[in-house]
Amino acid sequence: KNQVEQSPQSLIILEGKNCTLQCNYTVSPFSNLRWYKQDTGRGPVSLTIMTFSENTKSNGRYTATLDADTKQSSLHITASQLSDSASYICVVTRGAGNMLTFGGGTRLMVKP
């Protein structure tokens, strides 16, 4: 079954600290993996996208990794800011590119 599992479900950290979010998937055939940030009341916004041959990609303080062999990805946030408080969703594209499988998301809260 094509699935994307994320952990933890929720996370609270202090401003300035780092954190790492996890994503495991069983989607096949694999096309690419995206990490989205969704602020409350807004639509998801793409942070990174990685294909099979890429194992790391950065976007500012966000760094995503991908291990296509173990079907695992992580999103590392460095020096967290209050504005990082949001849900982070791991999304795997299956096949030709139009079928997305969404993880349940990790809800991150950054406290001062």
Indicate the residue among 15 and 101 with the shorter CB distance to another protein.
101
User: Could you tell me if 2 and 99 are in contact, meaning their C-beta atoms sit under 8 angstroms apart?
Assistant: no
Q: Confirm or reject binding of residue 34 to another protein (CB under 8 A).
A: yes
In 3D space, the residue among 29, 15, 27 whose CA is nearest the CA of residue 84 turns out to be 15
Q: Which residues inside 76-105 make contact with another protein, applying CB under 8 A?
A: 89, 97-100, 102-105
What's the number of CA atoms in the CB half-sphere (13 Å) around residue 19? Answer: 23
Q: Confirm or reject binding of residue 10 to another protein (CB under 8 A).
A: no
Query: Do β-strands 106-111 and 10-14 pair in parallel, antiparallel, or remain unpaired?
Result: parallel
Rounded least distance, CB 77 to another protein, Å = 21
In 3D space, the residue among 24, 15, 17 whose CA is nearest the CA of residue 104 turns out to be 24
Which of 3, 5, 16, 45 binds another protein (CB under 8 A)? It is 45
Rounded least distance, CB 14 to another protein, Å = 26
Size of the site for another protein (CB under 8 A): 19
Indicate the residue among 15 and 24 with the shorter CB distance to another protein.
24
Kindly tell me the number of DSSP H helices and DSSP E strands found in the chain.
Answer: 0, 11
Using CB under 8 A, list all residues that contact another protein.
32, 34, 36, 41-46, 49, 89, 97-100, 102-105
